[in-house]
Amino acid sequence: MRTPRTFRRNLDDLKLRRRLKQAIAYSGLLGLIFLIAVWISYGFGAQLNNYAYDAMFRLYQPKPWKLDSVILAIDEATISWVDGGMMNIRRPLARALHLIDAVQPAPKAVAVDLILTDRRDPEVDRELAGVFRATPNLVLSSLILDDPLGWEEPRPEFARWAAAKGHVYAKPSDEDNVTRVIPLDKHVLTQQRWAIALEAFRLSRGGGTPLESPDDVEVAGTLIPFKRTDAGRLMRVRYLPPDRSVPRISVKALLEHPSRAQEFAGKVVFVGVTAASQVSDRLSTPYSFGATTTGIEIHAEAFETIVQRLFLTDVPLSWPPLFSLLLVVTAGLCFAYLPGWRAYAGAVVVLAAAVTGPYIFFTHQRVFPFAMPATAATLGIAASAAWQALIIRRDLRRAEAERARYQQAMHFVTHEMRTPLSAIQGSSELISRFALNEEKRQQMAQLINSESKRLARMVEIFLNVERLSAGQMELKHEEIPLKDMVQVCIERTRPLAERKHIGLKLEPINGDPLLCGDRELMEYACYNLLTNAVKYSPQRTHVTVSGRKENGHVLLAVKDQGIGMDSREVKKVFQKFYRTRKAEESGEAGTGIGLSIVQQIVEQHGGRIEVVSQPGIGSCFTLVLPAQN
């Protein structure tokens, strides 16, 4: 029966199978690269995503708009100007807010980010509370207490006039401490506080209760599309570039120039400390470049983000992996199907897509993580290029091996065919140069005929072995009686043995076991072992041939009393063109290719060849082949 190990498919089938295996391995490599890119981006890509986000933030700026907010700043100049500094700031603040309250149109809302929980001068506190009473849509800030846990409220005389109380917290990134988001709300026990930016927006637009859902919150008709997470609703702030920031007017400047109060007319006013010496939590933004800003400035810009609806939202979670997978596949296809520089040009396009894709999304107010596609594209290109380089090197080695095999074949042809060609040439010269009688001419003609047939048979055997090695043919499927095949080979070897007075002995073969395969090739293998045994045995010795069936295999052994080999030589004896030192010294002609061909024939038949040898004692070559059931 034919088995995959015994008989090969034709060349087209082999090429198809090889390409299929290569494609599967290549696809597996690309899949692994994709998984590695995903793992790297989730495990180590947060900071890279932040850097890319900040770079895109600075690179792309929305069209300028008319700002709806102004900051009343308690800056260094104000603190230096006020006797007692921050401890006595309430009276100057009350006077500044009184000027603002008097302008027309009145401010839309006033958000105050100051700690108003402690008692100061009663007269000053009453003055400030009176101003708060006249302030439209007043929002006061509140902080979180740890012990006891709860909200630290402004003093009652101030809180009673507040239309809302909001928190003033930001959320710097854990990786680099840059504030890119603020929590829209904070929860302490059962109490919720919205950010003062959102409360200022809500009151400036007519009030109303925020309407929440898991995916967004609607405030005064504006849908703010940020999902609720464990950290609250985190809104990305669309900061203004430094040359277009929210205008700031200090308390000192306003009190010294009361006419500047008109700059607050119809605006939302954010009141807070901007003096670096008085703020403990200086914050960085994507525009900072090492500088810092204050919480009141961040909340003013958060308010502008809501007003202009410049909401930077995340793309769906499935998009980055899908896009990254597309990049890896495209890189793989470029190096698989595009030749030479075109493959690398395609790789550049893939890398450019990985870099520009997130930026294009950013210009449409969608945040697309940068780390995953960038990592996937880089690793995909590197792996694909390396794979193709290895394939090219493998094909080059295969081509070099084919060239070497072709050269070896030529050596074999010149060696093995020298004897029959010499006989044909000599016989033809005798016939043409001398007047031979009919009997001699007949003998010469028969010799030429037999040697030409032998030459043709050698060529056919050689070509068949080469085609088998290249996977270009299938073995014949024949039943081969072992005893008959061995006897034929012995008779062909006998003339060479008689010239050296070497006896050929065939031990009894019981049961006449059968082989399955190509008889012509098997005869060549057996004949080659016999001729080698005779060539490398001294005169007046014996060569013994034995055969038997054992455990489903047929064993054919050729044993001589020749020069033998040591263990190191046994390991190399089947290498093409390898000859032992004693074989070279024996004077026998040879190329060292015969045993290599024998090994190929035996392995193509699903068998193996075993060697036992000792220097000066002899060698035994045993063919172990599957038996025909």
pLDDT tens-digit profile of 459-509?
Answer: 766 665 666 665 555 677 788 899 999 999 998 888 888 888 899 998 988
In a domain, 518, yes or no: yes
Asked whether 381 and 351 are in contact (CB, 8 A), the reply is yes
pLDDT number for residue 478: 86
Q: Which of 400, 435, 460 is the last residue of a domain?
A: 400
Give Cα 529 to chain centroid, integer Å: 52
For residue 197, what pLDDT is reported? 95
Q: E strand or H helix at 517, and its extent? A: strand 514-517
User: What is the per-residue pLDDT for 452?
Assistant: 81
Instruction: Judge if 354 and 304 occupy the same domain.
Output: no
User: Quick check: 119 and 87 in contact, CB under 8 A?
Assistant: no
For 122, the enclosing helix (H) or strand (E) is helix 122-134
Domain match, 225 and 374 both: no
Q: What is the CA radius of gyration of the chain?
A: 47
Q: Is residue 50 part of a domain?
A: no
What is the rounded average pLDDT of the residues 120-135? 92
d(CA 579, CA 284): 79
Q: Which of residues 473, 488, 519 is at a domain's end?
A: 473
Region of 576 (left: φ > 0; alpha: ψ -120 to 50; beta: rest) is: beta
Task: Note the pLDDT of residue 148.
Answer: 84
pLDDT-wise least confident of 128-132, 319-323, 438-442: 438-442
| Residue 309 predicted with pLDDT over 70 | yes
Q: What is the pLDDT of residues 141-155, one digit of tens each?
A: 998 888 888 888 899
- List the one residue out of 116, 169, 180, 119 whose CA is nearest residue 144: 169
pLDDT at 6: 39
Whether residues 301 and 353 share a domain: the answer is no
Residue 234: Cβ within 10 Å count: 15
For residue 254, give both structure tokens.
């306003």
d(CA 96, CA 100): 6
On average, the pLDDT of the chain sits at: 86
Identify whether 58 is part of a domain.
Answer: no
Domain-embedded: residue 511: yes
Q: How confident is the model at residue 10 (pLDDT cuts 50, 70, 90)?
A: very low
Please check whether residues 32 and 119 belong to one and the same domain.
no
Tokens representing 546? Answer: 């034995």
pLDDT tens digit sequence for 523-535: 888 998 998 898 8
**Phi (first) and psi of residue 451, to 5 degrees:** -70, -35
Average pLDDT, integer, range 442-463: 74
- Which tokens sit at 128? 């400030």
How far apart are alpha carbons 253 and 30 in whole angstroms?
64
How far apart CA 324 and CA 318 sit, in angstroms, is 10
Give rounded-to-5 percent helix, strand, coil for the chain. 50, 20, 30
Are both 73 and 30 inside the same structural domain? Answer: no
Structural domain ending residue among the three candidates 314, 330, 355: 314
Let me know whether 81 and 119 are in one domain.
yes
Retrieve residue 376's tokens.
Answer: 């996937």
DSSP, res 118: S
Number of C-beta neighbours around residue 543 at 10 A:
25
Q: Which pLDDT value is given to residue 402?
A: 64
Contact by Cβ (8 Å): 559, 622:
no
Residues 447, 350 within the same domain: no
289 dihedral zone (left: phi>0; alpha: psi -120 to 50; beta): left
* 142 in Cβ contact with 152 (< 8 Å): yes
Domain range spanning residue 173? Answer: 69-314
Q: How far apart are CA 286 and CA 51, in angstroms?
A: 9
Same domain, 443 and 505: no
Q: How many domains does the chain have?
A: 4
519: domain CATH number is 3.30.565.10
617/578 same-domain check: yes
Q: Is residue 2 predicted with pLDDT exceeding 50?
A: no
Place of tokens 């000859």: 579
Tens digit of each residue's pLDDT (9 = 90 or more) over 186-237: 988 888 999 999 999 999 998 889 999 999 999 998 999 999 888 889 999 9
pLDDT digits (tens, 9 = 90+) for 558-596: 999 988 888 888 888 887 667 677 776 666 655 566 788
